[in-house]
Amino acid sequence: MPIKQASASAISFRAKLFNIGAWTILRLPDSASRQLPSRGQVMVEGTLNGASFKTPLEPDGMLSHYCKVGPELLKAAGAKAGDTVSLTISVTKDWPEPEVPAEWQKALAASPKARALWQQTTPMARWEWIRWARSSSNTETSQRRIKVGISKLESGKRRPCCWNRNLSTEPEVSKGGVLLEPS
């Protein structure tokens, strides 16, 4: 789909919405994704059919990006799966706080030292810890990663290391780190 650079910081393009399971997904055209500063997760703000939004773009495991489009944004944009929509996005360094899974909350509550460092890290770093732990579809592996993460935080590590940030970490819509095909 055609893409144009709206300005030095804004990227405008059209893309088709589709479903994977219960999620409505928007995959960026490769030409738009290549303009982003990272193949990993990137926080953007912009408009979808004129409706404002802010969301993380998740890597699709194929060197591009996608995002989940929630029901509120779909309604505001007057869009649904199957529609082609117009977007303008800009990268932002202003990361909102991630939704911290219950397992992380419990582990952090049990370790004052890890919790203290967690609270000192940036929201982006907290997003990375959560992504790293959930990057396995195996529940036991994810639970083990939370334990290892707590240990790393206790030893002063501010970010997880040694994992491929270019893979999708959403088990509901990906397999082996690659975004599934539309349903």
Q: What is the pLDDT of residues 119-134, one digit of tens each?
A: 999 999 999 999 999 8
Q: 15-52, pLDDT tens digit by residue?
A: 999 999 999 999 999 999 999 999 999 999 999 999 99
Q: Provide the residue type at 34 as one letter.
A: R
DSSP string, 27-48: EPPHHHHTTSS-SS-EEEEEEE
Asked if residue 14 lies in contact with residue 85, where contact means CB atoms within 8 angstroms, the answer is yes
Which residues, in sequence order, are CB contacts of 39 under 8 Å at separation 6+?
A: 59, 63, 165, 166
User: Which residues of the chain does CATH 2.40.30.100 include?
Assistant: 3-91
Output the CA–CA distances (angstroms, integers) from residue 25 to 5, 18, 123, 169, in the order listed: 22, 5, 24, 14
CATH number for region 3-91: 2.40.30.100
Q: Do residues 13 and 87 lie in contact, with contact meaning Cβ atoms separated by under 8 Å?
A: yes
Residues 6+ apart with CB under 8 A from 148: none
pLDDT tens for 53-98 read: 999 999 999 999 999 999 999 999 999 999 999 999 999 999 999 9
